[in-house]
Structure 1
């Protein structure tokens, strides 16, 4: 959480290093959901640095604030929010959805026009009342096989949201991830965030 001006300024240097590593398609700002003021400060500090490099800048869930602050779109953590977010933002904004390991949700939002579907093996399946849907979900692929299944069956890009270490990046790309979301591996790298991004790019080259 970037809670004050000092936190934001301290993070900016690390953030710029990461951007300088190149090969970044999109940045998702997370961890500010409980504070509107913290979110605004972080967006004002980081968004211009991102967009001037032609990198998309997204925030989580709050599509109204995303539009108001000039973000490129929103990353939803609930597939049920997709229709409302798309209607509000229109076709010119990015609307992506983290579907956890739910193939059912991924198919629904993918067919509805989501710009990307994210799979996140850290999230369990929700309670499912429909027995046919439950059987479909519980009998489906997990882990890397979920990425491969999506590439075989569907068209929209898929993102691996598992926050994996750099040494696992290649396996996720080989399995079918169009994009790979990395977080801890970047900010906690033993050298610096530029080196971390460089290593990620080399792993998937």
Structure 2
């Protein structure tokens, strides 16, 4: 039986102006090919975060895309997600009590974990009940791990563990190499938002590259 096709997982820049960014989200998610979107929000109090998410959720969820939230601050993401109707939360490995967060989220919302620095951290996150792990995303200083190391880590995880894996593509051109890892999701950030022809063109181009690679396997 053929492996299931990898799906797209979008990562936004830190959204400072929710109303201004909402049309961009609608443009991206209207393609119908986006499985999930990680909404990155600035440091703010819980009420402000909830209000921002309520503006940004409809352009995402109305198109069947799961809305995952992350914040640069120390807000109670489980509480925010519940009040705003988000589908899940995303946290940084090593900076959150994952078992406690899993308990607060219960089974109602997804828990994703990123910024994983070692295989031990990856396994710890999986054991704590993470619904997916994200490999290769930009670091806090916007630098990126080497593509070689990301491919190695994602391949290792996808071959051994059942918890889904998301692998970050810094450009559309590297998508075929990442699809070959058998990761369930390909994450895109600037490659979508900064595309010369906009998200509506970038996403079909990404889907085509996924399909071309999978046709070879």
TM-score (norm 1): 0.81
Secondary structure (helix, strand or coil) at the match of 1:109 reads: helix
> Hey, what does 1:138 align to over in structure 2?
none
Instruction: State the Cα deviation string for residues 29-65 of structure 1 (Å, max 9, x = none).
Output: 1032346565334311111222222211111162221
Out of 140, 144, 148, the residue aligned to residue 151 of structure 2 is 144
The CA deviation at 1:110 is: 1.1
For 2:118 and 2:29, locate their aligned partners in 1 and report how far apart those are by CA, in whole Å: 31
Tell me the matched-pair count.
Answer: 185
Kindly indicate whether structure 1 or structure 2 has the higher relative contact order, using CA contacts under 8 Å at least 6 residues apart: 2
Question: Where is the helix percentage greater, Structure 1 or Structure 2?
Answer: 1
Q: Where do residues 93-172 of structure 1 align in structure 2 (5 Å cutoff)?
A: 93-120=109-136, 122-123=138-139, 142-161=149-168, 163-172=169-178
> Hey, what does 1:23 align to over in structure 2?
33
> Hey, what does 1:137 align to over in structure 2?
none
Give the unaligned 5+ runs of structure 2.
Answer: 1-13, 72-76, 141-147, 212-217
Give the unaligned 5+ runs of structure 1.
Answer: 125-140
TM-score (norm 2): 0.76
Structure 1 consecutive aligned stretches of length 4 or more whose deviation exceeds 6 Å: none
Secondary structure (helix, strand or coil) at the match of 1:114 reads: coil
Q: Is the 8 A contact 1:99 1:105 kept in 2?
A: no
Instruction: State the Cα deviation string for residues 104-157 of structure 1 (Å, max 9, x = none).
Output: 111122123211111136449xxxxxxxxxxxxxxxx82211111111221110
